[in-house]
Every structure is written in C-alpha cells, then in structure tokens.
Chains A and B, each alone.
Chain A
C-alpha cells in the first residue's frame, strides 16, 4: 500500500468505513504520508459536502401549490385520522409482543447493518421478523401467477412504503432504543406488513 496509491473507489470506501478492517488500516497508514491521496480524499469529501448544500429555489413551487391545494379542496384526498392504524392496533400489540418474545428465544446472529440495535432483543427480533416478511411480500409480488400486473405493482409499492416507515422508526430507535412507544410503533408497522401478506393470500 505504501507504494501503490489506493483507487478513488477505495478512498471512497475508506471515507464511509466500508472497507475490511485490515484494508481500512492500510489506507489510513498510506494517507498519513501521501499528500497526493490526501488531496484526492479531500476532493471526495468536497463532493459529499456539496451534495448536501441546500437545494436551489424552485420558482414554480407557488403555482404547483395551487394545483395541490385545488386537489385537496376537491376532497379526493383527506387525512384519514389514523383509520388504518386503529383497525390494526387491536391485533398489532399482542402480535408484536409475541414476535419480540419469539425473537428473544430465537435470536439470530447480529446484523451488520444494525449494530446498535442488536443489543435490544425486542427491537432486533422485530426487525428480523420484518425482514423475513418483507422478503415474503417481494417474493409474492414477483410471482407472475399471483394477481394482475397492477396488483403486483401495488403490492410492491405498499411494501416499499412500509419499508420506508420502518427505516424511519429504526433511525429513531438508534437514538432512543429504550423508548417503548417507538418499539410499539415498530410492532404495529411489522403487523401492517404481515397484514399485506394475509390480505394478498386470502
């Protein structure tokens, strides 16, 4: 490594701590004495920094708001006051609790993606269960013999949306892993995903 400059991809990996531990150390050692690679690394950091600059003003946003407002006023889409959550909440909490317990008893190996939450058995169990459920939905949506193309598309979309919500909760849980309300919300979201399977296979 002393004689060979790491590639840009390797430097980018080093920046995100994505390299194997040994390579991460070797690159760090190389960077300590190589001004050229320090410059390349700085350029990569600049790319990331500039990508996070505030977005430029979008002049049409006022006109687009008018269209959004008109569609809201048309009554076609109104807040649902949590109707769906309430309908699932009756069964979600017992299922979430059962899932958490099952997860504690059958704890899988720690996930590399969620190191901080692996120490919280209930959360880790729910996330593992959710991963399995998500794959099950994806597999169902990929089956050409299930439903119409539009139905498979809708199923995949609903699954992605739940994934988004769960990722949001996971981020919040990383900051507050002992917050029972967050864990309960996670349980509801997992139940929501399970509901997709139930509905699709009914």
Chain B
C-alpha cells in the first residue's frame, strides 16, 4: 500500500528512473511509480493520440496509469514492465474507444465528422509522419501503430481488434504504402 504523500510532486523536476522502481512501485511506493510515469508518459500519450480517433486523450492516459497502478502487483517479472504497460495501455485505450463509440449519439458523430477537417494540416503543406499516421484510415492506423510502433504480432493484433491475422497484414501493408507516399512528399 502506498504510504507516502504524492502532493506537490510536480514542483521538482522529473527524476531519472531507477533500476528497482518497478519493484518499489509494486510495494506501493508512489514516488517510484511517479518516476515510471515520467519515463513512459510521452510514449503512452502518443499511443493514445493514435488509437483514440476522438475523445479526451489526457483522460485516457490517466486511466492507463490508474489501471497500471492497480494491476502492478500482478506483474510477475519486473523486467517486462515496459511491454506490460503498453499492453495495459492498449487494453484501456481500446476499451475506452469502444465505450465512447457505444455512447456517442449519431448527432455527435456527425458533428465530430464536420469538425475533422479543421484538425488537418493546411493543404499543400508537407506533413510529418506523426500527422500522417493520425490521418490514416482507422483500421490501417490501428494495425500500423500496434505492429510497427508497439511491436505486437498479427495474431495478437487480431485478438485485440477482433480481426483476422490476414486482415491485420493487409491493413499494415496498406498503412505503410500510404505513409511511404507522404514521406516522399516531404521536402
């Protein structure tokens, strides 16, 4: 159980992650968990940005770390923490996305679709890869992010997204092809 206070922690710079932080956090050391958060939050935020087609990305990242804190005692091998955290993140984010899709009304969807072009870069400007990934079709983006960025295999992706490994492969190749064209347009 955590015993220390967490208040005021952000007044000091983010300290470097320590080798035994995972074990300490498993025992309830919140400062160790904070160091783990600081070391991994940029990546988790990027993952949430890419996988959440809409919605509040910051809230999703919060949920990821709250879930990770809750489940951390179940992690058997602390050396696998980074991969384990990515899996927790994918599960939380996909669940949140599914929940959002279920609860969103048709009117909201139409409204979001109408707003979407405003988030895109102005026509004629080259896009960096990050923007290009965000603009991929949903299925292709999910698979690209989970395979090429997060390192899951097609079997795992199929189970996570409810698609066949064959579909996962097709979507990956489609995504890479689209992104290749974007990179070629870069100055």
Contact = CB atoms under 8 A, between A and B. Distances in A.
Nearest to A192: B74
B140 to A, nearest CB: 11
List the 4 shortest-distance A-B pairs measured between CB atoms, nearest first.
A164-B87, A69-B6, A8-B177, A12-B173
Contacts of A108: none
Contacts of A145: none
A171 B173 contact: no
5 contacts: A8-B177, A72-B69, A77-B70, A167-B87, A181-B76
Interface of B: 1-2, 5-7, 9-10, 14, 26-28, 30, 33-34, 37-38, 41-43, 45-46, 58, 61-62, 65-66, 69-70, 72-74, 76-77, 80, 83-84, 87-88, 90-91, 94-95, 98-99, 102, 129-130, 133, 144, 148-149, 152-156, 159-160, 165, 169-170, 172-174, 176-177, 179-180, 183-184
A134 to B, nearest CB: 7
A69 B159 contact: no
A101 to B, nearest CB: 23
Given A61-B38, A78-B28, A171-B83, A69 B74 contact: no
A171 B88 CA distance: 15
A167 B152 contact: yes
A46 B76 contact: no
B144 A67 contact: no
A67 B62 contact: yes
